[in-house]
């Protein structure tokens, strides 16, 4: 795998989407783009809500992506426009400190996260002037990582416009870090697969250090994505960050119980590493240490011997300050169990047993139950959709992405794909006019796509 994002010479005339984007750019700015960048969305096959706990995940890039046309100039301004008229234009001075309003997560603030990440990485006092038009084919707030793809696309084009060079790994790490400016405490999976993906293969993404390993998916089955049509913006709600905080508290409680310094650990994987324990041993420890009832602030502070003020400043995040109860047993049990399922999934893919498809389907089903019951990141629409997918012929189906809305991913035997699509369409989309109107972009077979790239007109 090449270490830097590829620069690809392409004929704009033969790519309708690039052709439309070029025309929109010329109509908007009265000049032609200098180059184009794209960054794909992703579907996580298994390993939900564990990247920020330090555990490996198993996503693949999808063909839907964020595409941007860019020109570089001496205007002293960064001008942003979007093909979709519901997303308003925005401009900011290159000499200003880039401000990102995490209380109002507009599309252009995600873009500016990527810009700011590159600026800070290289200490660029005054960025090059840029004019950009963005086009996205990833359904927004669907759990397919449209927001992270936008951050990655912006980071890549800012690097190129300012004549800098970075590896895919470095770009992924920068974009994972800078997306936190919008208030989301993500773990890095979305940005990693957006840069490190390769066509035709899923990836096991491992962290600390960041690396990606090919995972050959079994023949005889495909992955189908279906959107429940309930949107959930991670940055606009506290659901996601509450889970991050609950895992952080569980980490410190487990460390304290086993005589480790709680202030030295913040991720559940770190406790396992420090104790040199297996995932099975960690699951047993969860049963031993935690009670199933939610913990109060007072109980946590007493057990960790810390003040309420220290708990607020060092453990909670900005948008979780109001929380009073924390489900430590359920969240840690999900994380350690899901981490074990990821490794089992990869093992089945590597060893290619005769019943691989059934085994992988079982792991996906177990994952959804854990997300629904222990992590509580599903919703009635997603549960209904997963149930329909299983009844329609999927061997495994689960929510994918942050949850609380968005998409399910289903593993479907190749010979059943057409009947599966029809059955899901008839049972979930057709009866509801709003879903029926969204169905074309909400139900599709996905193949592993390539990672972020630069395009130059041939």
Give 217's DSSP letter. Answer: P
> Read out DSSP for 350-414?
HH--TTHHHHHHHHHHHHHHHHHHTS----HHHHHHHHHHHHTT-SEEEEESS-SSSEEEEEEEG
**The pLDDT of residue 2:** 66
- Write out pLDDT tens, residues 171-182: 999 999 999 999
- What is the enclosing helix (H) or strand (E) of 192? helix 189-196
Distance CA(373)–CA(216), nearest Å, equals: 30
pTM for this predicted structure: 0.93
- What is the enclosing helix (H) or strand (E) of 281? helix 279-289
Distance CA(153)–CA(66), nearest Å, equals: 7
**The pLDDT of residue 233:** 61
Distance CA(310)–CA(301), nearest Å, equals: 9
- Write out pLDDT tens, residues 386-443: 999 999 999 999 999 989 999 999 999 999 999 999 999 999 999 999 999 998 889 9
Helix (H, G, I), strand (E, B) or coil at 82: strand
**The pLDDT of residue 234:** 56
Structure tokens at 212: 């990606």
- Backbone φ/ψ region at 251: left (φ over 0), alpha (ψ -120 to 50), beta: alpha
- Write out pLDDT tens, residues 108-132: 999 999 999 999 999 999 999 999 9
Structure tokens at 78: 């960064």
Which long-range contacts link 169-177 to residues 24+ away (Cβ below 8 Å)? Answer: 169/3, 169/195, 169/196, 169/210, 169/211, 171/5, 171/195, 171/452, 172/196, 172/210, 173/210, 174/117, 174/118, 174/121, 175/113, 175/114, 175/117, 175/148, 175/151, 177/117
What are the residue numbers of the active site? 190
Give 51's DSSP letter. Answer: G
For the chain, which residues score pLDDT lower than 70?
1-2, 233-237
**The pLDDT of residue 371:** 98
Contacts of 310 (CB under 8 A, 6+ apart): none
For all residues of the chain together, what is the average pLDDT?
95
For residue 405, the tally of other CB atoms under 10 A from its CB is: 23
Distance CA(216)–CA(346), nearest Å, equals: 9
């Amino acid at each position: 795998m090449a270490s830097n994002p590829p620069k690809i010479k392409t004929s704009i005339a033969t790519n309708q989407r690039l052709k439309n984007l070029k025309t929109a750019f010329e109509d908007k700015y009265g000049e032609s783009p200098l180059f184009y960048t794209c960054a794909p969305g992703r579907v996580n096959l298994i390993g939900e809500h564990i990247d920020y706990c330090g555990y490996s995940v198993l996503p693949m890039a999808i063909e839907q992506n964020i595409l941007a046309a860019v020109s570089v100039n001496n205007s002293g301004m960064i001008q942003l426009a979007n093909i979709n008229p519901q997303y308003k234009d925005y401009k900011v001075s290159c000499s200003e400190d880039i401000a990102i309003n995490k209380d109002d997560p507009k599309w252009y603030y995600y873009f500016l996260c990527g810009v700011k990440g590159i600026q800070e990485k290289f200490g660029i006092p005054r960025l090059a002037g840029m004019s950009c038009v963005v086009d996205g084919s990833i359904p927004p707030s669907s759990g397919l990582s449209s927001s992270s793809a936008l951050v990655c696309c912006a980071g890549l084009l800012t690097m190129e416009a300012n004549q800098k060079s970075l590896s895919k790994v470095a770009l992924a790490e920068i974009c994972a870090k800078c997306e936190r400016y919008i208030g989301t405490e993500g773990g890095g999976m979305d940005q990693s697969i957006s840069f490190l993906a390769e066509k035709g293969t899923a990836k096991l993404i491992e962290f600390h250090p960041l690396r990606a390993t090919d995972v050959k998916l079994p023949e005889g089955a495909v992955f189908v994505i279906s959107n429940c049509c309930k949107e959930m913006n991670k940055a606009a709600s506290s659901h996601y960050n509450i889970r991050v905080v609950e895992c952080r508290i569980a980490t410190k409680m487990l460390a304290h119980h086993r005589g480790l310094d709680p202030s030295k650990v913040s991720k559940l994987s770190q406790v396992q590493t420090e104790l040199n324990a297996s995932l099975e041993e960690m699951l047993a420890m969860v049963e031993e240490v935690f009670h199933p009832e939610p913990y109060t602030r007072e109980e946590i502070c007493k057990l960790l011997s810390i003040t309420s003020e220290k708990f607020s400043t060092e453990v909670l995040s900005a948008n979780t300050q109001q929380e009073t109860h924390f489900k430590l047993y359920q969240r840690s049990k999900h994380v350690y169990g899901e981490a074990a399922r990821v490794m089992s999934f990869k093992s089945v893919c590597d060893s290619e047993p005769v019943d691989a498809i059934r085994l992988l389907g079982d792991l996906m089903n177990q994952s959804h139950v854990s997300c629904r019951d222990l992590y509580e990141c599903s919703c009635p629409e997603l549960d209904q959709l997963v149930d329909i997918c299983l009844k329609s012929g999927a061997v495994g189906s689960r929510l994918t992405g942050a949850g609380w809305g968005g998409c399910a991913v289903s593993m479907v035997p190749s010979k059943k794909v057409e009947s599966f699509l029809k059955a899901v369409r008839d049972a979930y989309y057709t009866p509801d006019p709003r879903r029926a109107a969204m169905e074309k972009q909400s139900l599709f077979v996905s193949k592993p796509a390539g990672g972020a790239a630069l395009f130059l007109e041939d």
